[in-house]
Structure 1
Amino acid sequence: MRVMESALKALERFLKIDTAYVARGSFWLILGKAIGTIIALALSMLYARFLLKDAYGDYRYVLSVLGLLGVFALPGMGVAIRRAVSRGYDYAFIRGARIILFSSFGITLSGILIGSYLFWQGNAVLGAAFVIASFIAPFNESLSVWRGFFEGKMKFRKKTYYNIWAHVIYGLSMMSAMVAIIVWKLPHAQSMILLISTYFLSHAIPSAIFYRKTVRLISKESVDDPESIRYGLKLSALYVPQTASNYLDAIILYNLLGSSALAVYSFAIAIPEQMKAFLSTVQTVVFPKLSLKTNDRHTTQELKKTLPGKALKASILTGVLVVIYILAAPVLFRVLFPKYMESVLFSQIFTLSLIPFPFGVFNAALKAEGNMKKIYAYNTAVPFIQILALLVLIPSYGIWGAVGGRIIGRFANYFLPFLLFKK
């Protein structure tokens, strides 16, 4: 315990941040992420060993297209809800969730159209997968906003408790589906339908349970933030290109190089993306405090002076983490994903994008500040940089093009908010 306290104090002197607060909040979030990562790792090992690359590539393709259709779920509304709740407007959570549910049925209509087209093209397996997923996805999208409520209230322990149960339900459900596929030797068509159905149901059911529990915590006298919905709608419009850039790599790879290439790429970025999720817990913890500090002009100016130095010092630590991963990656893949050793070099290069990750705190600072002009500039410029890079590089360089495009987009994502917040 004393060793931990000494380490936190040393880190506080180095970074000049309240490490006690970050550690308290991050502990519960990291615990939840750790359990989620263990479950994801176990599932990935099953996929790597018992699913053909083509089957796994098809599965990732469906999830990527549904992820792109997530623009109908108003992705910026979650940030607006978290911001409103952190300022005491609890009813914004309920109203925001209702609006997300209504809007999310755009996913259903789009999914039916895509599925119908695939049926017409003779691809009944993917067609059925899209139709099934499109009916479940709206409930998953709208009811999962309970996480933003607890983040806004800085109740990270409660959020982690619910998150752990959500991870466990999802993990056990997907493992059961994989066991059924292995034991009964299900063909590709039945395997796809089972995996897609289980994936979306195992997310939607826990979300419904925890949403209902969260609503019960809100007082009948709670007030709404008249600006939160408008702010969320504006953010969501800005998130359209960002959402597209997040899934475009997988969609282009699948259509140009096929499902096997997408499977190789998916495993290449899997561990670095889990590392990024761990690091993101710090941004989640500091967002409510940034929301309060950016209410005042004086404290905002102070943040502009102090945050850059802290981010630069923290980048040294993430650089060390990246070096460790690069050295360990061959062993990790040999043990965990032996059929995907061709993904190792892609993964090592991709993880370099994590070095400047601490500068991502300026993304949270921009959102907390609420300056729509700056947010608009960020949310349009960064995705278009990545989209352009992917469109240019993937047709010429395949998987390397996808890795390079993502790295370019990631660097733009870190440094453009820094420049905008400093203005």
Structure 2
Amino acid sequence: MRQIVKKILSFSERYTKTDMTYLVKGGFWLMVSYIFQIGIGVITTIALANFLPKESLGTYQFILSIAAILSVFTLSGLGTAITRAVARGHEGVLRSGVRTKLKWSVGIVIASGATSLYYYLNDNSSLATAFLVVGTFAPFIESFKLYINYLHGKEAFRDNLLLGAWRKPLPLIAILVALYFTDNVIILIFVYFSSNAISLIAVYYSVLRKYNPPKQSDAETLQLSKHLSIFSLVTITATHIDKILIWHFLGATAVAGYTIAQLGTKYSGGFINTVSVLVLPKVSRRDLYTLQQTLPRKVRLFTALMILGAGVYILAVPFIFPLLFPQYPESVAFTQVLAIGLIFIPLSAYSKVLTAHKQLRAQYILSISNALIKIILLYTLLPLYGVWGAIYAILATELVSSITVRYFFAIAKSPSRGSSEEPLESPDRDV
């Protein structure tokens, strides 16, 4: 049976021009892990949407969005830099990376404290307390989850699933238990952050016990992580600013409806991110010129598949959402239009190549320009069209981003062409 599968994969490589054996071998564990993650995320969202009032769900999501933006003060680009370094054989960056990130996390403690003080002075003790919780647990969450980047760099996708199999359900179970007793948003935020912090710390030490990586730092990784963190500062802010502006212009109830509308596209887009995790270690060792010749064909193939998937999603949503989210009928039309954005997701592969090959100038231009476009459009369209304005802004930004990243990928030149890059067996076969 195994030989038959190998023959089928080898045959398919003639048409995909892709190392299908590598994709299936690593991708199987990544996809199982991702399906597991989707299940937990969907169940959590369904529970919150059906047990919390709309305003409470909107407040909960607003806090998580602010917390995500505050995470940029923890050297947020270190994870990607660690994946790249480990793929190149520098395994000691895990221990040193965690220590470095814990030191840099003083930034999120200060930022969370300042945010808490702001809301306290504005007579909102609930949000003030929530951001004290964020400042307490976020440094541990952001630091100890670096084990995931380490395992991705080693291409140990199986261990990433099995070592953390018990961890992912823990926050879900904790949230469900808390929801049974209360709908207090502050308690739910505490449960969410504390359960994630405890479980991540436990899995991190289990990874250390199994792999025992050396204790050494890598100056190049730290330097690259600083650049990537600047990109993250802009991109993470742009990613989560929509919920914050919707909160500001339209209120918590609108945030709740918008969050439900994003559910399908959020996890569909995550599929491509999962594939990117599989590809990043490989493209870090590949010649940039060869990638420029081979990758566009694969992106076109994935784009065609995403168009098909978006069509199925648009047709299925009117039947599924009323069953899962009966309180949110307005979200059906929102999510159908947001699904158009799925066709742009495969082009994010070009961004992964720019990261892997240290195209820093292009990344600066892309991250800053795309973020500014999105923020300007949100500020302009939200007051005029409400939630629809946010949706129009997102789709327009994704279109511009796709065009510009394709352009910079096409003109990119490798800064270290030659000895440090892995030659290809065939110019027509790549990941």
Q: Which residue of 1 aligns with 2:425?
A: none
1:125 aligned counterpart, secondary structure: helix
Q: Aligned pair 1:52/2:53, yes or no?
A: yes
Note the alpha carbon deviations across 1:28-77, whole angstroms, 9 max, x for none: 11111111111111121211211100000011111111111111011211
**Residues 341, 398 of structure 2: 8 Å contact kept:** yes
Q: Which residue of 2 aligns with 1:197?
A: 190
Q: Which residue of 1 aligns with 2:82?
A: 81
Note the alpha carbon deviations across 1:6-27, whole angstroms, 9 max, x for none: 8856764443212221122111
Structure 2, unmatched stretches of 5+, are: 412-431
**Residues 95, 213 of structure 2: 8 Å contact kept:** no
My pick for the range that moved more, 239-248 or 213-222, is 213-222
Q: Which residue of 1 aligns with 2:229?
A: 236
- Cα separation, partners in 2 of 1:70 and 1:116, compared to 1, 3 Å: same
- 1:154-165 correspondence runs (5 A): 154-165=155-166
- 1:11-410 correspondence runs (5 A): 12-181=13-182, 191-217=184-210, 219=212, 221=214, 223-293=216-286, 299-410=287-398
- 1:162 CA drift (Å): 3.2
My pick for the range that moved more, 99-108 or 218-227, is 218-227
1:166 aligned counterpart, secondary structure: coil
- What is the number of equivalent residue pairs in this alignment? 410
Please tell me the residue identity of whatever aligns with 1:400. W
- Cα separation, partners in 2 of 1:393 and 1:149, compared to 1, 3 Å: same
My pick for the range that moved more, 323-332 or 202-211, is 202-211
Please tell me the residue identity of whatever aligns with 2:312. I
Normalised TM-score (structure 1): 0.92
**Residues 15, 314 of structure 1: 8 Å contact kept:** no
Distance across 2 between alignment mates of 1:342 and 1:101: 42
Distance across 2 between alignment mates of 1:232 and 1:160: 25
Note the alpha carbon deviations across 1:211-264, whole angstroms, 9 max, x for none: 222233455656532211011011112221111101110000001110000000
- Cα separation, partners in 2 of 1:175 and 1:9, compared to 1, 3 Å: farther
Please tell me the residue identity of whatever aligns with 1:418. R
Distance across 2 between alignment mates of 1:410 and 1:53: 28
**Residues 85, 152 of structure 1: 8 Å contact kept:** yes
Structure 1, unmatched stretches of 5+, are: 294-298
Distance across 2 between alignment mates of 1:330 and 1:401: 22
Question: RMSD of the TM alignment (CA)?
Answer: 2.0
- 1:279 CA drift (Å): 2.5
Q: Which residue of 2 aligns with 1:296?
A: none
2:123 aligned counterpart, secondary structure: coil
Please tell me the residue identity of whatever aligns with 1:262. V
Higher helix share: 1
Normalised TM-score (structure 2): 0.90
**Residues 381, 390 of structure 2: 8 Å contact kept:** yes
- Cα separation, partners in 2 of 1:259 and 1:10, compared to 1, 3 Å: farther
Query: Once superposed, which parts of structure 1, at least 4 consecutive aligned residues long, lie more than 6 Å away?
Result: 1-7
- Cα separation, partners in 2 of 1:373 and 1:198, compared to 1, 3 Å: same
Q: Which residue of 1 aligns with 2:407?
A: 419
Distance across 1 between alignment mates of 2:113 and 2:229: 23
- Cα separation, partners in 2 of 1:132 and 1:324, compared to 1, 3 Å: same
- Cα separation, partners in 2 of 1:391 and 1:9, compared to 1, 3 Å: farther
**Residues 140, 203 of structure 1: 8 Å contact kept:** yes
Distance across 2 between alignment mates of 1:93 and 1:373: 27
